[in-house]
Amino acid sequence: MSSRTVLAHAIRALSMDAVQQANSGHPGAPMGMADIAEVLWNDYLSHNPANPDWPNRDRFVLSNGHGSMLIYSLLHLSGYALPMSELKNFRQLHSKTPGHPEYGYAPGIETTTGPLGQGITNAVGMAIAEKALAAQFNRPGHDVVDHHTWVFLGDGCLMEGISHEACSLAGTLGLGKLIAFYDDNGISIDGDVEGWFTDDTPGRFNSYGWQVIADVDGHDPQQVRDAIEAARSDTGRPTLICCRTVIGKGAPNKEGSESCHGAPLGGDEIAATREALGWQHPPFEIPDDIYAGWDAREAGAAAEQAWDSAMSAYAGKHPELAEELRRRLAGELPANFAEAADQYIARCQAEGESIASRKASQNTLNAFGPLLPELLGGSADLAGSNLTLWSGSKGMQRQDADGNYIYYGVREFGMSAIMNGIALHGGFIPYGATFLIFMEYARNAVRMAALMKQRVVFVYTHDSIGLGEDGPTHQPVEQLTALRATPGMHTWRPCDTVESAVCWKFAVERSDGPSSLVFSRQGLPHQDRSDDQVAAIARGGYVLHDTAAAPDAVIIATGSEVHLAMAAAERLEADGKHVRVVSMPCPDVFDQQDAAYRELVLPSDLLARVAVEAAHADYWYKYVGLDGRIVGMTSFGESAPAGDLMREFGFTVDNVVAAVEEVIL
Ligand SMILES: Cc1ncc(C[n+]2csc(CCOP(=O)(O)OP(=O)(O)O)c2C)c(N)n1
Ligand SMILES: [Mg+2]
């Protein structure tokens, strides 16, 4: 068996050689954290390379994702289906080894990291999911949900503000199975961090309520082991292990300097490093005894088998719980959900309530919540405005984690990246809310949900100038466009109780990506519909009002402007004009319909088109064309009562009628 140091050298060699071959990448962090990784992966990490989806595996998150060759080396060496050919193809088109770890590419990558600070935040979400799921399902003598979440992070992650949001909440929630290693190498891209990062990091994490193990020599396996033992034995607090390391450790002329952070070492330095490490094997060649020292397949299979036996015993004692846990982990919805949801939608249509869509959203939660114990809700300190609490909501707490609601506090970015972590962990469908305008604070995490195709439900209320007196700082204008421009995101802006219920159903049933549900603060009138029209809402856009004769014009509207479009059509009809109204709650979904359906709703020869939406106008040109008209926003709003603002910015029946008259030739 090879010595620990030699096992770690295998990571160093693979990392420097792969970066050199790609002629780009980051050798410094993998070489600096190799010794820590060796101890963690060989002595502690519970995982099964043959089954990366084993639900009770430990989660490992490389928050300093630029060090991707570290995790690729670990996955390859420990026996995952990531062959050497993929390491040789580091950073190349269609390889499983992209520049930063991307979820869904290589087996064993738990989340996409690279945007610094989000990995640790995803990990907080995973640890929240583990703690809540354990509280919901474990029974005395049956700890069937029981794993750690391990994180590597660097100076960059700690400088990012989101690390404060997430780690502060992690301390409050007492996430005792979250263990993070800080790669304290004193270096970031611009050089020695002394000039821009002088926090007392241990003091900071102490104040969050973490256990902090300071001053660990990250190149001394025994010290790392001792720290991990201490971390594991404190089950009430997350732990930060501060490891002093040397970036690029082993490269004689570059270690300890920013020059090895993000560039190949170069041929000469690589030769010198081989010499210094005593590593004389050619690039991408690993001796058998070193593979043997890393191989985690046997231990992994045994760990999963032990869990299988524990699950069998659990199922014997608690058969219904066991079946429910299986369903939840598989991400399947309850068998009765779709039918019950459709009945609720039909009831909304029949009852015809005129209320704010945020209230309609809450009513939907009250209807769907009892059917969906996997919902794990929350709001960034706006529960009373976002209306995200329903009658069965119970806060998840440090001492009592058996809840289904997280009080995120004023932490929009943290909340959003935590939701991504919860979704990645499995067992829950997270939803979380803020005002639409503050999606901006969370923007990159929202993007990551789409990039990773996660079932996350972002709830955004107060969706336009219609929120009124809070003024332009709170009134979204360009945010809908940003959401709609995000590949894979579904952005819904429903116009009444019925569309609100449909968008919730769609978001919950969608298993291949996130949804943004955008609701109004102000009351919205109910719309009449036939059964066919109710069914068509799920197509993203549909004819809400049609004319007997061929239409002279079509008005496309969403959300709070749909009733304006209906009133305008009525006025125009009294004048002998035939005007169709298309309600378009989700253009992303409408665009995915077949051409025949889209042609039915928006015939290509019907070019007299007007779009009405109290958000940035430009998005709608793709539907109305350059000769169409858009009643929308092109400036920021103002502070005033909502009615005054709607008039001021042209959201009146008169104005919509005038726009239609302009386009009718
Ligand atoms: C949000 C974000 N901002 C900027 C970057 C670009 N970036 C990548 S690594 C890095 C420096 C990170 O320093 P540290 O975590 O100390 O990494 P080390 O050099 O020690 O490996 C920066 C600024 C990024 N990846 N994500
Ligand atoms: Mg650093």
Residue 165 CA to ligand 1 center (angstroms) comes to: 18
Full DSSP string of 560-590:
GGHHHHHHHHHHHHHTT--EEEEE-S-HHHH
Q: Which ligand lies nearest the alpha carbon of 62?
A: 1
- For tokens 């295998």, what's the residue? 10
CA triple 654-660-663, angle to 5 deg: 145
| Antiparallel, parallel or unpaired: β 457-461 and 429-435 | parallel
Q: Is 115 in the pocket of ligand 1 (CB under 6 A)?
A: yes
Segment holding 301, helix H or strand E:
helix 297-317
Q: Is 243 in the pocket of ligand 1 (CB under 6 A)?
A: no
Q: Kindly list the distances between the CA atom of residue 500 and the CA atoms of 47, 238, 296, in Å, as whole numbers in the listed order.
A: 41, 39, 49
How far apart CA 483 and CA 262 sit, in angstroms, is: 32
| Antiparallel, parallel or unpaired: β 429-435 and 375-379 | parallel
Q: Kindly list the distances between the CA atom of residue 657 and the CA atoms of 142, 566, 622, 665, in Å, as whole numbers in the listed order.
A: 66, 10, 21, 14
Q: Which atom of ligand 1 is nearest to the CA of 189?
A: 11
Q: Is 155 in the pocket of ligand 1 (CB under 6 A)?
A: yes
Q: Is 293 helix (H, G, I), strand (E, B) or coil?
A: helix
Q: Kindly list the distances between the CA atom of residue 585 and the CA atoms of 6, 226, 540, 554, 644, in Å, as whole numbers in the listed order.
A: 59, 56, 6, 16, 25
**Burial group, residue 135, by CB count within 10 angstroms (0-12, 13-18, 19+):** middle
How far apart CA 120 and CA 117 sit, in angstroms, is: 6
Q: Helices 118-137 and 439-451 sit at what angle, rounded to 10 degrees?
A: 80
Q: Which atom of ligand 1 is nearest to the CA of 158?
A: 15
pLDDT of residue 133: 98
Q: Per the residue annotation, which of 412, 499, 561, 613 is the catalytic one?
A: 412
Q: Is 189 in the pocket of ligand 1 (CB under 6 A)?
A: yes
Burial 182-197 (b: 16+ CB within 10 A, else e): bbbbbbbeeeebeeee
Q: Which residues pair with 181 in a beta bridge?
A: 152, 241
Q: Which ligand lies nearest the alpha carbon of 154?
A: 1
Q: Is 255 in the pocket of ligand 1 (CB under 6 A)?
A: no
CA-based torsion, 243, 249, 252, 257: positive or negative: negative
Q: Is 111 in the pocket of ligand 1 (CB under 6 A)?
A: no
**H helix runs in 3-105, sequence order:** 4-22, 28-39, 68-78, 84-88
Q: Kindly list the distances between the CA atom of residue 552 and the CA atoms of 28, 544, 582, 603, 607, in Å, as whole numbers in the listed order.
A: 66, 16, 14, 11, 9
Q: Is 65 in the pocket of ligand 1 (CB under 6 A)?
A: no
Q: Which atom of ligand 1 is nearest to the CA of 261?
A: 19
Residue 183 CA to ligand 2 center (angstroms) comes to: 6
Count of residues for the chain?
665
- Residues in the chain where the model's pLDDT stays below 70: 1
Q: Which of 62, 189, 249, 259 to mutate to test the pocket of ligand 1 (most atoms within 8 A of CB)?
A: 189
Q: Which atom of ligand 1 is nearest to the CA of 100?
A: 25
Residue 402 CA to ligand 1 center (angstroms) comes to: 36
How is the chain split among helix, strand and coil, in percent rounded to 5?
A: 50, 15, 40
Residue 21 CA to ligand 1 center (angstroms) comes to: 22
How far apart CA 414 and CA 445 sit, in angstroms, is: 8
User: Would you say 436 and 518 are in contact if contact means Cβ atoms under 8 Å apart?
Assistant: yes
Structure tokens at 602: 């928006």
Q: Which atom of ligand 1 is nearest to the CA of 67?
A: 21
Residue 70 CA to ligand 2 center (angstroms) comes to: 15
* Structure letter (DSSP) for residue 392: T
Residue 29 CA to ligand 2 center (angstroms) comes to: 8
Q: Is 64 in the pocket of ligand 1 (CB under 6 A)?
A: yes
How far apart CA 54 and CA 649 sit, in angstroms, is: 55
Residue 372 CA to ligand 2 center (angstroms) comes to: 43
Q: Is 246 in the pocket of ligand 1 (CB under 6 A)?
A: no
Q: Which residues pair with 356 in a beta bridge?
A: 523
Q: Is 156 in the pocket of ligand 1 (CB under 6 A)?
A: yes
Q: Is 27 in the pocket of ligand 1 (CB under 6 A)?
A: no
User: Would you say 144 and 137 are in contact if contact means Cβ atoms under 8 Å apart?
Assistant: yes
pLDDT tens sequence across 54-103: 999 999 999 999 999 999 999 999 999 999 999 999 999 999 999 999 99
How far apart CA 290 and CA 287 sit, in angstroms, is: 5
User: Would you say 197 and 155 are in contact if contact means Cβ atoms under 8 Å apart?
Assistant: yes
* Structure letter (DSSP) for residue 333: P
Q: Which ligand lies nearest the alpha carbon of 156?
A: 1
Q: Which ligand lies nearest the alpha carbon of 120?
A: 1
pLDDT tens sequence across 460-511: 999 999 999 999 999 999 999 999 999 999 999 999 999 999 999 999 999 9
For residue 649, the one-letter residue type is: F
Q: Which atom of ligand 1 is nearest to the CA of 156?
A: 15
pLDDT of residue 2: 77
Q: Which atom of ligand 1 is nearest to the CA of 444?
A: 1
Q: Kindly list the distances between the CA atom of residue 384 and the CA atoms of 209, 227, 533, in Å, as whole numbers in the listed order.
A: 28, 43, 32
How far apart CA 349 and CA 314 sit, in angstroms, is: 44
Residue 216 CA to ligand 2 center (angstroms) comes to: 15
- Which chain residues have CB less than 5 Å from ligand 2, an ion? 154-155, 185, 187-188
Q: Is 62 in the pocket of ligand 1 (CB under 6 A)?
A: no
Task: Mark residue 191 as left, alpha or beta (left: phi above 0; alpha: psi -120 to 50; beta: remaining).
Answer: left
Q: Is 19 in the pocket of ligand 1 (CB under 6 A)?
A: no
Whose alpha carbon is nearest atom 18 of ligand 1?
188
**Using a CB cutoff of 8 Å and minimum separation of 24, what contacts does 393-401 make?**
393/369, 396/128, 396/131, 396/132, 396/135, 396/173, 397/173, 398/172, 398/173, 398/174, 399/174, 400/135, 401/131, 401/132, 401/134, 401/135, 401/173
Q: Which ligand lies nearest the alpha carbon of 158?
A: 1
- For tokens 């699950």, what's the residue? 311
Q: Which ligand lies nearest the alpha carbon of 159?
A: 1
CA-based torsion, 250, 255, 261, 265: positive or negative: negative
Which of 590, 577, 582 is closest to 550 using CA atoms? 577
How far apart CA 628 and CA 656 sit, in angstroms, is: 12
| Antiparallel, parallel or unpaired: β 191-192 and 187-188 | antiparallel
User: Would you say 127 and 177 are in contact if contact means Cβ atoms under 8 Å apart?
Assistant: yes
Residue 167 CA to ligand 2 center (angstroms) comes to: 19
Is 412 considered catalytic here?
A: yes
Residue 187 CA to ligand 2 center (angstroms) comes to: 4
pLDDT of residue 545: 98
Q: Which atom of ligand 1 is nearest to the CA of 193?
A: 16
- For tokens 């369903």, what's the residue? 327
User: Would you say 88 and 284 are in contact if contact means Cβ atoms under 8 Å apart?
Assistant: yes
User: Would you say 277 and 250 are in contact if contact means Cβ atoms under 8 Å apart?
Assistant: yes
Whose alpha carbon is nearest atom 12 of ligand 1?
156
pLDDT of residue 665: 76
Q: Is 242 helix (H, G, I), strand (E, B) or coil?
A: strand
User: Would you say 377 and 419 are in contact if contact means Cβ atoms under 8 Å apart?
Assistant: no
